[in-house]
Amino acid sequence: MINYLLSKVSPCFLLLISILFSSCNKDSTTEPVLHEDITLEPPPVGKGVQVGIPPFLVTQGQEIQRDYYVTLPSDQDIFINKIEFRFNEGSHHCNVFKSDSITKTHGTFDDSFISLNYNIWDMFCASQRESLTWQMPEGVAIKLKAHQQICIQSHYVNASTQSTPNSRGKVLINFWTIPESTVISRAGLLFASNTRIIIPPHDSLEVRKFVKEIPWDIHILTLTGHFHSRGRNFWAKRFQTDEEIYRNTAWDEPPIKIFPDPGYFLYRNERIVYYSDYFNPTNDTVKMGPHVELEEHSNLFLTFYPGPADGKTIYDVDQGW
């Protein structure tokens, strides 16, 4: 009798019953979503080079900043006109430095929140976004010397303020090049930091800083603001005209403003002034420092051309108002 009834039932209906039955008997625990490490195809031979940090562990509750040293994989000087960043999710920032006076073993890691010595390390690019492609105007480039010492500084957080879903950090960067004969101007970078940050418990704070003047006419290529999770607003103005040129309300994925070709013009010795606004919801005083979980920042990254003839980064690290 049962066989007879089953013979009259639609096969599709029997398949549905089978799926529902197997689902009821399956363990109800949801399987975790697997987050794969990022990938990035390197430039073709002769068009650029790729550098990066191989996967490293960032376990739950950790906040890790790693300085990773590599030798530029090029037998000749190169001129970079486009940069591609790719990070595993969970990165707070990635700053890239070059040095003419120090040599580290290729592939060496330093785990430290101590800042690099700015007298011997020049930051030349940076990103807080996990996926960024920065194309400079035609003929504008960053010069790197053959086999130059590079430091890739990566900061990962897998704690309360940010998370690293696959518990691994990884960074890949492509430097796309142009022939030296086509270079008409070198790009430079200015890094400013306001160290005057003391936020009382359950209180607000607004700080401002005047950025060091550059004593020649420049075109601003990119501008980025940087603070931590107590930050609510970050904005920058052209001091002489009070024109707002940048604003950021997203501390963990701040916008990188890329000005259209030929860039934002600034006369020699004009000044940029920037502001940061915070609220501290905790019972502890929050001060300036590199740790996302406990401390705050008020930093500005500005790339421009023409850059200094010696290729040095302009650092402006002191108290603001």
Q: How many domains does the chain have?
A: 2
Q: In what order do the strands lie in the sheet with 108-111?
A: 108-111, 62-71, 149-158, 91-99, 122-127
Q: What average pLDDT does range 53-68 have in this prediction?
A: 91
- Tell me which long-range contacts 53-57 makes (C-beta under 8 A, separation of at least 24): 53/152, 53/154, 53/169, 53/170, 53/171, 54/170, 55/88, 55/168, 55/169, 55/170, 56/109, 56/168, 56/169, 56/170, 57/167, 57/168
The answer as to whether 12 is a domain residue is: no
Measured between alpha carbons, how far is residue 24 from residues 27, 28, 273 in Å? 8, 8, 62
Residue at 105 is within a domain:
yes
Same domain assignment for residues 79 and 60: yes
Tokens in use for 238? 């052209």
Q: Report the pLDDT value the prediction gives residue 320, as an integer from 0 to 100.
A: 56
* pTM: predicted TM-score of the whole model, two decimal places: 0.86
Going by pLDDT thresholds of 50, 70 and 90, the confidence category of residue 34 is low
Residue 225, pLDDT above cutoff 80: yes
Predicted pLDDT at 31: 40
* CATH code for the domain of 65: 2.60.120.310
pLDDT digits (tens, 9 = 90+) for 232-261: 999 999 999 999 999 999 888 888 999 999
Residues 101 and 142 in one domain: yes
pLDDT of residue 22: 42
Q: Are residues 152 and 218 in the same domain?
A: no
- Please check whether residues 149 and 253 belong to one and the same domain: no
Examine the domain organization and report whether 200 and 306 are in the same domain.
yes
Q: Which of 11-25, 103-117, 236-250, 295-309 has the lowest mean pLDDT?
A: 11-25
Whether 198 shows a pLDDT value over 90: the answer reads: yes
The CATH number of the domain holding residue 261 is 2.60.120.230
CB 49 within 8 A of CB 169: no
Backbone angles phi, psi at 95, to 5 degrees: -110, 140
Q: How confident is the model at residue 275 (pLDDT cuts 50, 70, 90)?
A: very high
- Per-residue model confidence (pLDDT) at position 11: 45
Domain that holds residue 279: 187-318
